[in-house]
Structure 1
């Protein structure tokens, strides 16, 4: 949490030096509209994130069970980890530097720069550096997500939308289905996986529907929001 506080302090310093602004440019002050946006996009992201596991259960016959070692503190720690990691990343890629880029270069160029940096950052955070195919997939997927997150900020002038999308997706992946860097949390996959033969269409639909769906739906809803 100290890191987040330092980020906020540096963010304030950057925007103050740039145009004598303050942290209000990040849109962090809760309002009814911002909280509504947060709830809507949190639900959309969590629903699509969950759909990926539902498709694996339906098409690939995979299954998950309650982690026998789960505790409330284990779940709380996982949620807290995701809150911190999402805030950390959003303050970097949709925070003060992004605000300055928008003012200097315009929204379109700023969005492309932010999303490109977001995709490249995940080469390191997801350990894909050195594997060309993995790097390409990581860059395309996370870069596309970065586009939507940055678009959410530019349309609403607030971090609530990008945080909601990012957190909704990650918390389902990592805390609910234990698919991520923080280990086993609420549900764990039943192993070994069943040997099931599926068509290419079914395989790619299972892999692509959740991420493409969340990006398309979130981008559409963001577009419909009042600026």
Structure 2
């Protein structure tokens, strides 16, 4: 939590130097609309992640079952870990730096640069630096999702929607389906078989290409409709 406070202070300082603002890079107002955007983002991202991981189980001939190590303590610890990691990453990649870049170099270049930085960051957080193929896969997969989230920031002028999208995904991926670094939390995949070449390619294309595309379609049309 101390790290988040430090990043918030540094973000406010950069924002103050840039335009004498006070957290306007976060897009706090109008608050009700922002809360609605956060909620919609969370739900859409959680549903997409859930469908994807249910598809994984189907393709692998497996099933998701309640983990034998499940406990309320580990569940809430995982939720808190998800929130802290999401908020930290959003402050870094969809916060004041992206806000300034959009004004300095334009929306398209700023969003692309943010996505590339997000992908490179995950080389280190995933521990794949040095493995060229793994680095490429991580850059493409996390970079495209980072692009969708950065694009949602640029379209709403607020951090609320990208935080909701990011938290919804991580909550389902890490806490519910136990795919994150904390190990088994809620559900565990049982009796899984290796994917064949074509099913592996299909799953990769859906997770890496289709999911970010659906997020961008939601941002473009779903949020616009919600504001009407």
Normalised by the length of structure 2, the TM-score is 0.91
- Displacement of 1:30 after TM fit? 6.6
- Displacement of 1:148 after TM fit? 0.8
Whether 2:92 is the aligned partner of 1:95: answer no
SS in 2 for 1:22: coil
Do the aligned partners of 1:48 and 1:210 also contact (CA within 8 Å) in 2? Answer: no
Do the aligned partners of 1:38 and 1:161 also contact (CA within 8 Å) in 2? Answer: yes
Whether 2:215 is the aligned partner of 1:218: answer yes
Q: Distance in 2 between matches of 1:15 and 1:155?
A: 19
Q: Quick one: which of 199, 202, 206 aligns to 1:205? A: 202
Deviation beyond 3 Å, 4+ runs, structure 1: none
- Displacement of 1:78 after TM fit? 0.2
- Displacement of 1:205 after TM fit? 2.2
Q: Distance in 1 between matches of 2:172 and 2:30?
A: 24
Q: What stretches of structure 1 of length at least 5 have no aligned partner?
A: none
| Range with greater deviation from structure 2 (98-107 or 113-122) | 98-107
Q: Distance in 2 between matches of 1:32 and 1:92?
A: 24
SS in 2 for 1:214: helix
Structure 1 residues 158 and 61: CA distance shift in structure 2, 3 A: same
Whether 2:122 is the aligned partner of 1:125: answer no
Q: Distance in 2 between matches of 1:30 and 1:6?
A: 26
Q: What stretches of structure 2 of length at least 5 have no aligned partner?
A: none
- Displacement of 1:7 after TM fit? 0.9
Structure 1 residues 30 and 86: CA distance shift in structure 2, 3 A: farther
Name the counterpart of 1:180.
180
Do the aligned partners of 2:15 and 2:23 also contact (CA within 8 Å) in 1? Answer: yes
Do the aligned partners of 2:79 and 2:171 also contact (CA within 8 Å) in 1? Answer: yes
Normalised by the length of structure 1, the TM-score is 0.91
| Range with greater deviation from structure 2 (11-20 or 35-44) | 35-44
Whether 2:109 is the aligned partner of 1:112: answer no
Q: How does 1:1-227 map to 2 (within 5 A)?
A: 1-29=1-29, 31-190=31-190, 193-194=192-193, 198=196, 200-224=197-221, 225-226=223-224
